[in-house]
Amino acid sequence: MKLPAADLALSDSIRSIPNYPKPGIMFRDITTLLGDARAFRRAVDELVQPWAGMKIDKVAGIEARGFILGGAVAHQVSAGFVPIRKKGKLPHKRVSMTYKLEYGEDEIEMHADALVKGERVVLVDDLVATGGTAEAAIKLLRQMGAEVLAACFVIDLPDLGGADKLRAMGVPVRTLMSFGGH
């Protein structure tokens, strides 16, 4: 008999896929969480719980799963939504931030008019691993004059140190679960 979602740990709604996208990696797939209405609602509620009642002007979501979660969080807190995308995906005037990858660099962008200086922003994504993309997103938001209230993730891979890197930037980090390894 399947237990109701309320009786399960939220981590039970995550599918783990070994050796994806390459050997030795355990991929943590949130699409199973998104497909479970109760788990999805619970995750959104828990992501914003520490900031409930605070003034949040915008929620910024990192492409692509951060769009799904961030949109739901923005709705929950009655805030606007700012998509942070990979280079070349936004049609209007953009601002960008380059960041280092294990081998090379990548770039994220947002619309130049997505924020007003001084707006209070919560950053959302599905998972924090090394923290490189989230760190770049925080720098980009700050460059635009935003006050980054927090960074929220469903999953933390603490062995990779990303959440600690964001905390060292002075950003509170909210994660709902953690998994060891990569």
Please give the CATH number for the structural domain made up of 50-178.
3.40.50.2020
Res 48: pLDDT: 87
Contact residues for 171 (Cβ-Cβ < 8 A; gap 6+): 123, 138, 148, 150, 151
Chain centroid to CA 168: 17
Res 57: pLDDT: 98
Of all helices (H) and strands (E), which one includes residue 71? helix 65-76
Res 8: pLDDT: 65
Res 7: pLDDT: 52
72, β-bridge pairs: none
Query: Is the bond into 21 cis (omega within 30 degrees of 0)?
Result: yes
Handedness of CA 23, 31, 6, 163 (dihedral sign): positive
Domains in the chain: boundaries? 50-178
What pTM value is reported for the model? 0.93
Asked whether the beta carbons of 111 and 122 are under 8 A apart, the reply is: no
Mean pLDDT per 10-residue segment, the chain (182 residues): 57 95 93 97 94 94 97 96 96 95 88 97 97 97 98 97 98 96 73
Alpha-carbon distance of 139 to 169, in angstroms, equals: 9
Res 103: pLDDT: 75
Active site (catalytic) residues: 65, 102
Rg (CA), the chain: 16
